């Protein structure tokens, strides 16, 4: 049970994909729940971190990382402060926010995508102009934003990439988060948030400086930093789990013995990211791209598709070589040399990496 499949959509929401786990948790959960929460904070944390319930139901881990991070995130949502998930790309910020919303509110779909063009209507409300012209300003003409709907319904709303949103639109959030109300002067009304309402924002560490959060807004948030996986083992574990879930949702046959290639992808990514080989002996230049865990997951998934459709179903060096090359060489001018140097000084010399070296050499530069 668990991941996608059988829902007739390409990507079911977390609350659909893991409906069985959420129901089992709700049934087993005898701890106090904050107003309008579907689960207690303990059960939400268990949903994210995984565990086995007393009745034997296995809850799969969604987030692999320090338990404390999840505990702080979940308990923040039970306070009057909003939650800001911060980290470099691919550290599961979006993923964690979706699962938190699914577990707390049973609905992860109230979502504002932050971009440089995000208008104030996306945070407050807009108008349906046909209605407005036909009948004038009224309740029927009002188009509530996801934030307004979450306030009225007492649920979690998510804002993706908060720091990309223009400063004046960010400012609209300050009143909402501090006063917990959203005035609609055109109707002489306001929407007051009911208990259960809270907001999870994500922001990219590397965007710092794009639209730095104002200190007034920042004070409304508890910030939780999601780290890169601490060890290669942890990262291999994350990639293996996600690849298995994604593979199932794409109906790819499970690949036997994929572990060696997964470890290889993770090793290459970590060494180039850290700028040094695993044994600490050779310094390396880092490429311009992030080489995140999320990218490792796509490289392996892509490799599995190659192996399934054009190979013998076994994940081999040749199935991941092109994907790795593509992830590393983002900016041809800067990254091609970094890759060549890594290939010739590290990959070529490493025991058991001959096939991978050959496969990489065959990729047209
Ligand atoms: N620590 C982790 N635990 C579980 N999954 C992870 C972890 N780090 C990365 N991932 C996976 O990486 C993928 C992309 O993460 P995403 O949430 O889009 O990253 P971000 O929003 O931080 O850029 C997801 O499929 C997620 O499962
Ligand atoms: Mg994201």
Ligand having the closest approach to the CA of 93: 1
Angle at 23 between CA 45 and CA 26, to 5 degrees: 55
Give yes or no for a contact between 251 and 308, defined as CB atoms under 8 angstroms apart: no
Query: How far is the C-alpha of 67 from the C-alpha of 85, rounded, in Å?
Result: 15
Cβ of 89 below 6 Å from ligand 1: yes
In the prediction, which pLDDT does 247 show?
87
CA-based Rg of the chain, rounded to a whole angstrom? 23
Q: Give distance in angstroms: CA of 41 to centre of ligand 1.
A: 22
Q: Give distance in angstroms: CA of 72 to centre of ligand 2.
A: 19
Q: Is the pLDDT of residue 316 over 70?
A: yes
**Ligand 1 atom, smallest distance to 96 CA:** 17
**Ligand 1 atom, smallest distance to 61 CA:** 4
For residue 12, the Cα-to-chain-centroid distance in whole angstroms is 15
In the prediction, which pLDDT does 364 show?
81
Query: How far is the C-alpha of 114 from the C-alpha of 112, rounded, in Å?
Result: 6
Cβ of 88 below 6 Å from ligand 1: no
* Residue whose CA is at the smallest distance from ligand 1 atom 4: 63
Ligand having the closest approach to the CA of 162: 2
In the prediction, which pLDDT does 180 show?
97
Ligand having the closest approach to the CA of 87: 1
Cβ of 38 below 6 Å from ligand 1: no
Cβ of 87 below 6 Å from ligand 1: yes
For residue 110, the Cα-to-chain-centroid distance in whole angstroms is 15
In the prediction, which pLDDT does 333 show?
87
The backbone torsions φ and ψ at residue 354, rounded to the nearest 5 degrees and listed phi first, read -60, -45
Query: How far is the C-alpha of 363 from the C-alpha of 203, rounded, in Å?
Result: 35
Average pLDDT over every residue of 163-177: 93
Q: Give distance in angstroms: CA of 257 to centre of ligand 1.
A: 23
**Pocket-testing residue among 94, 207, 294, ligand 1, by greatest number of atoms within 8 A of Cβ:** 294
264 to each of 203, 300, 305, 355, how far by Cα in Å?
Answer: 29, 10, 17, 12
For residue 284, the Cα-to-chain-centroid distance in whole angstroms is 29
Cβ of 297 below 6 Å from ligand 1: yes
Q: Is the pLDDT of residue 340 over 80?
A: yes
Average pLDDT over every residue of 110-121: 96
What pLDDT band is residue 7 in, cutting at 50, 70 and 90? low
Burial class (CB in 10 A: 0-12, 13-18, 19+), 152: middle
* Residue whose CA is at the smallest distance from ligand 1 atom 10: 92
Q: Which residues surround ligand 2, an ion (CB under 5 A)?
A: 93-94
Average pLDDT over every residue of 158-177: 94
Cβ of 298 below 6 Å from ligand 1: no
Q: Give distance in angstroms: CA of 96 to centre of ligand 1.
A: 8
From 152, 342, 150, select the one nearest 264 (Cα to Cα). 342
In the prediction, which pLDDT does 250 show?
82
Pairing outcome for strands 58-59 and 51-52: antiparallel
What pLDDT band is residue 332 in, cutting at 50, 70 and 90? confident
What SS3 string covers 77-113? HCCCCEEEEEECCCCCHHHHHHHHHHHHHCCCCCEEE
159 to each of 190, 248, 294, how far by Cα in Å?
Answer: 21, 29, 20
**Pocket-testing residue among 49, 85, 90, ligand 1, by greatest number of atoms within 8 A of Cβ:** 90
Average pLDDT over every residue of 285-307: 93
Q: Is the pLDDT of residue 140 over 50?
A: yes
Cβ within 8 Å of residue 143, ≥6 positions away: 121, 125, 126, 127, 128
What pLDDT band is residue 254 in, cutting at 50, 70 and 90? confident
Q: What percent of the chain has pLDDT over 90?
A: 84
Q: Is the pLDDT of residue 1 over 70?
A: no
The backbone torsions φ and ψ at residue 48, rounded to the nearest 5 degrees and listed phi first, read -75, -40
234 to each of 139, 198, 245, how far by Cα in Å?
Answer: 51, 31, 17
Structure confidence by residue, pLDDT tens digits, 13-39 = 999 999 999 999 999 999 999 999 999
329 to each of 273, 283, 291, 334, 343, how far by Cα in Å?
Answer: 13, 18, 10, 8, 12
**Maximum distance among all alpha carbons in the chain?**
76
What pLDDT band is residue 118 in, cutting at 50, 70 and 90? very high
In the prediction, which pLDDT does 258 show?
86
Each as own residue / partner, the long-range contacts of residues 114-118 (CB below 8 Å, 24 or more positions apart, any chain) are 114/159, 114/160, 114/161, 114/162, 114/163, 114/164, 114/165, 115/161, 115/164, 115/165, 116/164, 116/165, 116/166, 118/164, 118/165, 118/166, 118/169
Ligand having the closest approach to the CA of 63: 1
Q: What pTM was computed for the model?
A: 0.92
Cβ of 245 below 6 Å from ligand 1: no
């Amino acid at each position: 049970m668990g991941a996608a499949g059988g829902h007739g959509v390409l990507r079911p929401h977390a609350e659909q994909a893991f409906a069985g786990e959420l129901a089992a948790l709700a049934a087993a959960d005898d701890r106090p729940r904050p107003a309008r929460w579907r689960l207690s904070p303990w059960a939400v944390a268990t949903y994210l971190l995984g565990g086995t319930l007393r009745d034997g139901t296995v809850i799969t881990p969604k987030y692999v990382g320090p338990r404390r991070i999840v505990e702080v995130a979940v308990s923040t949502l039970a306070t009057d402060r909003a939650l800001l998930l911060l980290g470099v790309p691919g550290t599961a910020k979006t993923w964690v926010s979706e699962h938190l919303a699914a577990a707390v509110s049973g609905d992860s779909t109230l979502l504002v995508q932050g971009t440089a063009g995000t208008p104030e209507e996306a945070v407050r409300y807009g108008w349906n102009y046909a209605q407005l012209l036909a009948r004038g300003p009224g309740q029927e003409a009002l188009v509530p934003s996801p934030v307004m709907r979450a306030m009225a319904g007492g649920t979690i709303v998510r804002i993706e990439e908060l720091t990309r949103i223009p400063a004046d639109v960010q400012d609209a959030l300050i009143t909402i988060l501090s006063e917990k109300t959203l005035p609609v002067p055109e109707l002489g009304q306001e929407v007051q948030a009911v208990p259960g309402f809270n907001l999870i924002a994500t922001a990219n560490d590397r965007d710092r400086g794009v639209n730095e959060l104002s200190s007034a807004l920042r004070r409304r948030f508890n910030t939780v930093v999601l780290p890169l996986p601490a060890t290669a083992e942890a990262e291999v574990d994350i990639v293996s789990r996600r690849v298995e879930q994604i593979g199932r949702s794409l109906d790819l046959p499970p690949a036997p013995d994929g572990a060696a290639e997964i470890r290889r992808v993770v090793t290459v990514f970590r060494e180039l990211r850290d700028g040094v080989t695993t044994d600490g002996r050779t310094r390396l230049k880092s490429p311009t791209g992030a080489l995140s865990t999320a990218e490792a997951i796509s490289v392996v998934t892509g490799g599995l598709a190659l192996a399934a459709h054009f190979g013998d179903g076994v994940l081999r060096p040749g199935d991941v070589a092109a994907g790795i090359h593509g992830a590393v060489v983002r900016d041809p001018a800067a990254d091609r040399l970094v890759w060549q140097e890594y290939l010739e000084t590290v990959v070529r010399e490493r025991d058991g990496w001959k096939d991978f070296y050959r496969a990489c050499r065959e990729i047209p530069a």
